[in-house]
Chains A and B, each alone.
Chain A
Amino acid sequence: MPALFILIPLAAVLLVNLPLRRLLTPAAFWLGLLLALAQAAAAVLVPDHAWIAPLGVATRLLRFTPTADLLTRVALLTIGLVGATALMVARAWTADPERRFRFANLALLALAGMNGVALASDLFSLYVFLEVTAVSAFILIAFGGERDALEGTFKYILLSAAASVLILAAVALLFVVAGSVSFGALHDVVPAAGRDPLVAAALVLLLAGLFIKSGIVPFHGWLPDAYSAAPAPASVLLAGIVTKTTGVYILMRAVTAVFTLDATVRALLLAGGTLSVLIGAFAALGQRDMKRMLAYSSISQVGYIILGLGAGSILGVAGALFHFFNHAVFKSLLFVNAAAVEQQAGTRDMDRLGGVAERMPVTGTTSVIGFLSCAGIPPLAGFWSKLVVILALWQAGERGYAAVAVLASLVTIAYFLSMQRRVFFGKLAEGLAGLREANPWLLVPACLLAAVTVGVGVGPWVLDILQLPAGSLP
């Protein structure tokens, strides 16, 4: 069954590109939307035994044993949700059927790629699907052909390719030591060989490459440019899930399935996490461009995920996973809001905006929900995941880092208040007299995501997620 998550999007792309184009052009969008939503539902609803059973025809056809633990399922859920959101934003962003068609195809390919990353059970296949996702992302960012978008794409390509080389070098070194790239084989050999210079070098190379892909400070240079210059639906996809899958998810996999969370690994994670959390938050304070502020905010929030991993305990990993999901939800929500504002007001410059909420009530309200969740205000989802991370750090004896995380939360509140004041509240800015609420295709995902972040925060299933992924940890 898990193999279907890769094969079905592939089949969909091949299907909609058959010679029956005139009929199939609109089908690409609907098919993509359907598959993304179905994936999200399946990740939550399908019972455990269907995942683990190896007898699925598709899985046998592909001859691979997918990973199917909690980490994978949360990733698949997130990928589905954000993918569906991005497609809806794309529909609002352009009315041209050709562009919608091409976007849907690339989104489907990115979906297949990310699913492959989530399901891969060896390091090289992980790399292959990582590249599939990256290439789809490159094209989606450059989609409109505008100058800033192309500039952002080039920087992303450069850093992404360099990171890939680092990851491959690590794979080569680990292959020498273990003779295999499968997680199982690596896990047997690598942690025991910790002092070996090749293994140590592989660790450093792998972490450096993954830090670049995740946008962790000091390797985050490409991120603000790519996020802000990309067309709206691409930004949603990128910020919501692509960076997380190609970077953070793989990082989580690598430190649990290949290496172990020993002292060195944890020290590196804590360092990277702290830098990201602080520098991202402070940099966000000084931004004028709405999407650029959200980009720096993303860097900061990813820092929380990394700090959670760095705590090194089961609670820490659970917190990291929880925040992985939450951040995807509220950050996508905020980018949808930014897309709505940009489309209706014609600008992302926060100094030229103001009082938008009175004309765009839905966008305004959902953005408040997004901001509250991101800043970690109870009872929204973001509060819980940040709390778990801070608790995990405290319990692990990393009191200083816990304090840093709390400090960053305060700065987060500050920059979001600034954004809310400048964009949504206050007096209606000049030139915005004719402002109307956004296209319904932007409102539906905003409401959906807002509902998810409220629901997860308030609902009883908060406790279920905190039931730990015992199987996926060393």
Chain B
Amino acid sequence: MTLPGSTLFALSATVAILMTVAALYCILASRNLIRILIGLELLTKAVTLLLAVAGYVTGRMAVVQTFIITLIVIEVVVIAVAAGVVLGVHRHNQDLDPRKLTNLRG
């Protein structure tokens, strides 16, 4: 992409923010725990975009690539553990409605 740095940054930041809004909406309005995880993943995609553009704009793409690679490894481990927890919840509750996770309220 060879937009001048600041335009690219402005556009990407805007897209990242909009994606974040969509992802947050997904997390808050969802009736299924798995969809909440998908929303979390979308949040991470938005941040990855932001990081990548930050690297491009400052001319330090090598370092930022290492950040992104490490971030992806972390992301997959977190999702794997979260999926395990979701399966555990399903075993107890027989469904994945986040509104049923109110056993602890008080």
Contact = CB atoms under 8 A, between A and B. Distances in A.
Interface of A: 124, 128, 131, 134-135, 138-139, 142, 145, 147-148, 150-155, 157-158, 161-162, 165, 168-169, 171-173, 175-176, 179, 224-225, 228-229, 287-289, 292
The SS class assigned to the B binding surface is: helix
B89 A135 contact: no
A68 to B, nearest CB: 24
B104 A225 contact: yes
Contacts of B101: 151, 154-155
B104 A224 contact: yes
Contacts of A138: 78, 81-82, 85
A131 B76 CA distance: 12
B78 A131 contact: yes
B92 A172 contact: no
A152 B67 CA distance: 30
Given A151-B101, A289-B106, A168 B47 contact: yes
A162 B46 CA distance: 12
Contacts of B33: 154
B85 A154 contact: yes
A150 B50 CA distance: 32
A172 B46 CA distance: 11
A173 B74 CA distance: 20
B54 A176 contact: yes
Nearest to A158: B36
Contact of B54 (A150, A158, A173, A287): A173
A165 B58 contact: no
Contact of B70 (A128, A151, A153): A128
A131 B57 contact: no
Interface string B30-57: 0001001000100110110011001101
A289 B106 CA distance: 9
B85 A165 contact: no
B89 A151 contact: yes
Contacts of B67: 124
A150 B78 contact: no
Contacts of B78: 131, 134-135, 138, 157, 161
A172 B54 contact: yes
Contacts of A154: 33, 82, 85-86, 89, 101
3 interchain residue pairs of minimum CB distance:
A147-B92, A225-B104, A172-B50
B88 A175 contact: no
A314 B104 CA distance: 40
Interface residues of B, number: 38
Contacts of A171: 51
B3 interface: no
Most-contacted residue by chain A among B47, B103, B104 (CB, 10 A): B104
A145 B54 CA distance: 41
Contact of B51 (A128, A168, A179, A287): A168
Contact of A165 (B44, B82, B89, B92): B44
Given A135-B81, A150-B89, A172 B47 contact: yes
Most-contacted residue by chain B among A124, A176, A224 (CB, 10 A): A176
B74 A131 contact: yes
B64 A150 contact: no
Given A138-B81, A150-B89, A157-B82, A179 B104 contact: no
B74 A128 contact: yes
Nearest to A156: B85
A150 B88 contact: yes
B88 A229 contact: no
Interface in B72-106: 74, 77-78, 81-82, 84-86, 88-89, 92-93, 101, 103-104, 106
Contacts of B89: 147, 150-151, 154
A175 B64 contact: yes
Contacts of A229: 104
Contacts of A155: 101
Contact of B43 (A139, A157, A165): A165
Contacts of A153: 85
Contacts of B54: 172-173, 175-176
Contacts of B85: 138, 142, 150, 153-154, 157
B40 A139 contact: no
